[in-house]
Amino acid sequence: MAVTAPAAPTPAAPRARRDRAEPHRAGFRPDIEGLRAVACGLVVLGHAGVGFLPGGYVGVDVFFVISGFLITSLLLREIARDGRVDLPRFYARRARRLLPAAALVVVATIAGAWFFLSPMAGKETAVDGLWTVFYALNVKLAAEGTDYLNAQEAPSLLQHFWSLAVEEQFYLAWPVLLLAVAGTFVARGSAAARAAADGHPKVRTGRVASVLVLVVAGSLALSVWQTGVAQPWAYFGLHARAWELAVGALLAVGLSAVRRLWTPAAVLLGWAGLAALLYAGVSYDGSTAFPGHAAALPVCGAAAIIAAGAAAPGRGVGRVLGVRPLTAVGGLSYGWYLWHWPALTLLPAAFGLTASGPVLLLAAAAALVLAAISLRLVENPIRFAPSLSSPGDGLSLGFAVSSVLALTAVVALVVPGGAPRGERVDIAALAQEPGASLQPVLRESVDAGAAPANLTPTIESAKADLPASRADGCHADLLEDAPAEPCLYGDPAGPRTLVLFGDSHADQWQPALDEAAKAAGWKVVHRTKSACTPALMTIDSADLGREYTECDTWRDDVLAEIGQLRPDLVVMGASYGLGGDDAARWGAAMSSTTARLAQAAGRVVLLDDIPVRSSSGADCVAANLDDVATCAVDRGAATPHGEVAEAVREAVTGAGGEVVRTLDWFCTEDVCPEVIGNYLVHRDATHATASYVRFLTPWLAEEVGLTAA
């Protein structure tokens, strides 16, 4: 999954029971409650596809600031009052507040994925559910974000839990660090107790502020640097987000000074903060290098609003944010955040609806209703249960809820899912018939009913049905910029040399080229890299959030190597969905590459791209085991980037290369079936399974001229 749709914020700060007296409760900030509503609304509406909020993901940054402010305020008040922080009680409160609703949503999402999508989707969601148990989903998503193979997958139904993981990691570390820094710098006694009600001025916070300044500076520097190097780690990692939480904490430490702001200046500051936040939501989009320095706008905007509310309560923007409709939504924001992402996917699937704009908005509204129900029936009854008021009871509850969640995920993983029940089919023998045509089998497959019992690969293993180059480390990942060695296939001692060159759409042909080269006595030099087109052009990487400089370096090295090898044949493969849709630019770049290769190699062949889908072929078959014909796609729709593809073909042939049109190995004149004979065609939306490619060996060998020496 490329990181282009950031997940929802995590309203993490505790809130007391809602009642008529709440506006008068000490410490309650209606403006912050309204700010929660604005932040969560930005994220939910952005995910629902509201066109004017492409940067709605900045709401998560607002919640990080709110969390840092409120949690630090709570801790400092406790230190001022008692001279210490009761850590067991602190963690017990967090467990009672956050875990019951989160566990409910995870369990419901696993069940919904299983029944409304497919058992395979349920199992995949269960894996992410296990990561949520250990508050580490952000780490998993960061690793997958820099793995192009995984980045191609649809977003997890639990992806939005990454921000909850970041905040939980903050909750685990910050109270201990705060005690270590401030624990011996507290004015104790009755004076401190009296001061606790007025912003804890008797806590000597200078050292705390100094530490927070260092955290802000260091974490922000890491965020800016890593956003330009490996954006997913910057986006999902606590190390690059800690500064946002620390900004809120700094506000809490300096609260007494903030309250002395001149009222007109505070009012102006609040409106400027709201304008900054809304501007980021409207102007940022998936191409914004985020978080990095771009996150400063929503972070500073949120901090300005909170500061203004402290200096001029009930005035300016605080008066607007404190209106009852916004505070009511703010009180539901944690549950709305939890429910909205699975609702946007599962509710349309449950009712058989297309995920259009109106449907997604209805799903978002339904998520708000679910938030209200879960607050009333789950969150508040557990949070305020007298029997769970002690630290030991709260921690035991947290352990029990986590255990139930883990057990549910494990059960979902081990319970058998649906299995193909159709008659066995075997078309492997067709590959042994000289000159055999694939079209009769393709036409029969268009009208196939149930998936054959011997479906190859199995649905469960489809996404792992990869070329050997993956396990061998011969397919370079996003951040690698040098070809791996030796990465030889076929007959390593063969007298003739073939170089496989391109991105993952070239790499997918490795199984067939390996077998054909072994039979013909050719050596295959494997040179492929994720998302790196062989065309001589610099592209932007959506997964890294910047120019893909590693691709340029790697490509130059490979071209230089080919110039020295002087191979008999170079086989290229590429996705036409990378690098934009400027057909002239593509044509010029591929012409340059082909001309350069033609000077060094005996022949240059481009394998045209295979049919692509809008979603995973394996997922579709898993959800339609009794009617796999449903998963077939129109041939025209399966061949996008028409102008670019045609420009590439013309450029290759014009520069002395050849083009092999592979579509007839996958499609009839009109339709591309997803199950061909007993083979599952796609492992995801755009790559073929290694099993089907291996079946195509004789057709590929004939087309590229891989014959015995």
The band of 150, judged by pLDDT with boundaries at 50, 70 and 90, is low
In a domain, 386, yes or no: yes
Domain span at residue 673? 435-704
Statement to judge: residues 225 and 283 lie in one domain: yes
For residues 245 and 337, membership in a common domain is answered with yes
300 located within any domain: yes
pLDDT per position as a tens digit, 527-565: 999 999 999 999 988 777 788 999 999 999 999 999 999
Say whether both 270 and 312 belong to one domain: yes
Q: How far is CA 219 from CA 177, 214, 216, in A?
A: 16, 8, 5
**Structural domains counted in the chain:** 2
Does residue 217 lie within any of the structural domains?
A: yes
Pairing of strands 658-660, 671-672: unpaired
- CA 593, CA 574: separation in Å to the nearest integer? 12
Among residues 626, 671, 702, the alpha carbon closest in space to that of 435 is found at 702
Q: Is residue 207 part of a domain?
A: yes
What mean pLDDT comes out for the span 153-165? 90
Residues 489 and 401 placed together within one structural domain of the fold: no
pLDDT one-digit tens code per residue, 64-105: 999 999 999 999 988 888 878 899 999 999 999 999 999 999
Domain boundary pick from 382, 414, 446 = 414
Whether the Cβ atoms of residue 684 and residue 463 lie closer than 8 Å to each other: yes
Q: In which band, very low, low, confident or very high, does the pLDDT at 478 lie, cut at 50, 70 and 90?
A: confident
Q: Is the pLDDT of residue 16 over 60?
A: no
Domain shared by 521 and 654, yes or no:
yes
Is the per-residue pLDDT at 2 higher than 50?
no
State yes or no: pLDDT of 13 exceeds 60. no
Domain contains 476: yes
Indicate if 71 and 194 belong to the same structural domain.
Answer: yes
Of 385, 414, 443, the one marking the end of a domain is 414
Rounded CA separation 681/693 (Å)? 8
Render pLDDT for 656-678 as a digit per residue (tens, 0 to 9): 999 999 999 999 999 999 999 99
In a domain, 4, yes or no: no
More confident residue, 203 or 588: 588
Q: Are residues 186 and 279 in the same domain?
A: yes
**Backbone φ, ψ for residue 20 (5° rounding):** -65, -25
Same domain, 254 and 217: yes
Instruction: Check whether residue 308 and residue 407 sit in a common domain.
Output: yes
Mean pLDDT of 614-622: 89
Total number of residues shown for the chain: 709
The reply to whether 24 falls in a domain is no
Return the closest-CA partner of residue 513 out of 536, 488, 548, 542. Answer: 488
Distance CA 12, CA 94 (A): 9
In a domain, 423, yes or no: no
On whether both 382 and 453 belong to a single domain, the answer is no
CATH code for the domain in which residue 624 is found: 3.40.50.1110
Mean pLDDT of 222-234: 91
Task: Give pLDDT, residue 660.
Answer: 97
pLDDT tens digit sequence for 345-361: 999 999 989 889 999 99
* Residue that has been written with the tokens 């946002």 in this structure: 244
**CA angle at residue 265 from 263 to 270, to 5 degrees?**
95
C-alpha–C-alpha distance, residues 540 and 579, integer Å = 7
Find, among 234, 249, 301, the residue nearest to 274 by Cα: 301
Paired tokens of 321: 């944010």
Whether residues 497 and 581 share a domain: the answer is: yes
249 and 336 in a single domain? The answer is: yes
Which residues lie across from 569 on neighbouring strands? 498, 603
Integer angstrom CA distances of residue 560 from 429, 528, 566, 591? 41, 15, 10, 17
CA pair distance 346, 115, nearest whole angstrom: 10
